[in-house]
Copies of this chain bind each other. A is one copy, B any other.
Amino acid sequence: MKQLGSQTWQYTTRPVILGSSAVVGPEEGEGPLTSDFDFIYDSLKMGEKTWEKAERALFEKASKLALINASLEQEQLEFFVGGDLMNQIISSSFAARQLGVPYLGVFGACSTSMESLAIASMIVDSGGGKYALAGTSSHNCTVEKQFRYPTEYGSQKPPTAQYTVTGSGCAVIGRDDGTSAGPHVVMATMGRIMDLGLKDPFNMGAAMAPAAADTITAHFRDTALSPGYYDLIVTGDLASVGLPIAKDLLAKEGIPMEQTEFNDCGLLIYDLDKQKYVIAGGSGCGCSATVTYGHILKRMKKGELKRVLVVATGALLSPLSYQQGETIPCVAHAVALEMGGDEA
């Protein structure tokens, strides 16, 4: 691994995503990416007695499907890097119990998708393991209950609110034997905490936008690339409120984002016109994970996209920190994915 600038890692062996999975709930299945998902549950309960057990089932299914899609036996897997939004990341820990391999629990709120991918890729790139699984999950009913109100209350939400994605995305990372067409994990830019003083848990997009802009700025400073290098730059879940703020902030930094397609996973996963209940768009660990591991990787394999930068954003609040009047610390972690051989 090579350090570029102060925040970016370049993976010298270009680890490969051998297989990935995206498993979602019924509402995500009604969205525009429906054909990109490996499995769509027809009920939020997923045959379980509690929302938390449902989320665990979702995560366990996604981790199994990723192994199948990677043509890897469970016994071959060596490390699992995972996390989720639940207190003490229980969904991830229970999935780890089922996988039976060394487990590194991580937490970056909704940035967990790219934090886990960056660490799993570091393990493989640095020679620490041949195969590592990165994954995360979120469930609309577990997350809303824990951070805001139980969905059963039917409480009204402001127009800045986002809708937690019910979904789990996992990816199996392996070494490149020199023959792989990709997708390769080529770089990661790890984010700093940005906290501009926002306190409203119903306006995460605005809180997280500065973190996304800071990490994107750091990525282009560290790599000396410009946005046009990428066919797509996609943020984690800024949704309709946060993405324009991130665009404004990047314009002020002089980053020419008009060179590329710049979108947001929270806007891609739902049809905001038809699915009015999602309000400003999707959020949750499962949002960037299922969009990246379902939709984006499929587009890359089809040849539609060669280089993509995924910038997953996370709001690191807890209900308690919010109740004690604290502002929301936010972070964004970016991972660069590329198809094809190494032309560097």
Interface check A335, CB cutoff 8 A: no
Task: List residues of A (289-332) whose CB comes within 8 Å of B's CBs.
Answer: 316-321, 324, 326, 329, 331
Task: List residues of A (78-134) whose CB comes within 8 Å of B's CBs.
Answer: 78-79, 83, 85-90, 93-94, 96-97, 100-109, 115, 119, 122-123, 125-130
Asked whether B1 lies within 8 Å of A94 as measured between CB atoms, the reply is no
Query: Chain B nearest CB: distance from A224 CB in Å?
Result: 18
Asked whether B97 lies within 8 Å of A321 as measured between CB atoms, the reply is no
Asked whether A320 lies within 8 Å of B119 as measured between CB atoms, the reply is no
Interface check A193, CB cutoff 8 A: yes
Identical subunits present: 2
Q: Which residue of B lies closest to A86 (CB)?
A: B318
A-B contact pairs, 26 of them (CB 8 A): A1-B127, A2-B127, A3-B127, A83-B107, A87-B87, A88-B321, A90-B317, A90-B326, A93-B331, A94-B321, A96-B192, A96-B329, A97-B193, A97-B195, A97-B329, A102-B190, A102-B191, A102-B192, A103-B191, A103-B331, A104-B106, A105-B106, A105-B316, A106-B107, A119-B119, A126-B126
Interface check A7, CB cutoff 8 A: yes
Interface check A61, CB cutoff 8 A: no
Interface bits A171-209 vs B (CB < 8 Å: 1, else 0): 000000000000000000011110100000000000000
Task: Point out the residue from B78, B105, B193 that lies within 8 Å of A100, measured CB to CB.
Answer: B193
Most buried by B among A79, A125, A318, A319: A318
Q: Which residue of B lies closest to A321 (CB)?
A: B90
Query: Chain B nearest CB: distance from A47 CB in Å?
Result: 15
A positions within 8 Å CB-CB of B: 1-3, 6-7, 9, 50, 52-53, 78-79, 83, 85-90, 93-94, 96-97, 100-109, 115, 119, 122-123, 125-130, 190-193, 195, 316-321, 324, 326, 329, 331
Asked whether A316 lies within 8 Å of B93 as measured between CB atoms, the reply is yes
Asked whether B104 lies within 8 Å of A89 as measured between CB atoms, the reply is no
**Considering the complex of A and B, which 6 residue pairs feature the smallest CB-CB distances, nearest first?**
A126-B126, A102-B190, A88-B318, A93-B316, A97-B193, A87-B87
In whole angstroms, how far apart are the Cα atoms of A85 and B320 in the complex? 13
In whole angstroms, how far apart are the Cα atoms of A321 and B101 in the complex? 21
In whole angstroms, how far apart are the Cα atoms of A78 and B189 in the complex? 12
Asked whether B7 lies within 8 Å of A102 as measured between CB atoms, the reply is yes
In whole angstroms, how far apart are the Cα atoms of A107 and B195 in the complex? 22
Query: Chain B nearest CB: distance from A6 CB in Å?
Result: 6
Asked whether A105 lies within 8 Å of B103 as measured between CB atoms, the reply is no
In whole angstroms, how far apart are the Cα atoms of A108 and B102 in the complex? 12
Task: Point out the residue from B87, B102, B103, B193 that lies within 8 Å of A93, measured CB to CB.
Answer: B193
- Which residues of B have CB within 8 Å of A7? 78, 102
Asked whether A79 lies within 8 Å of B126 as measured between CB atoms, the reply is no
Query: Chain B nearest CB: distance from A17 CB in Å?
Result: 19
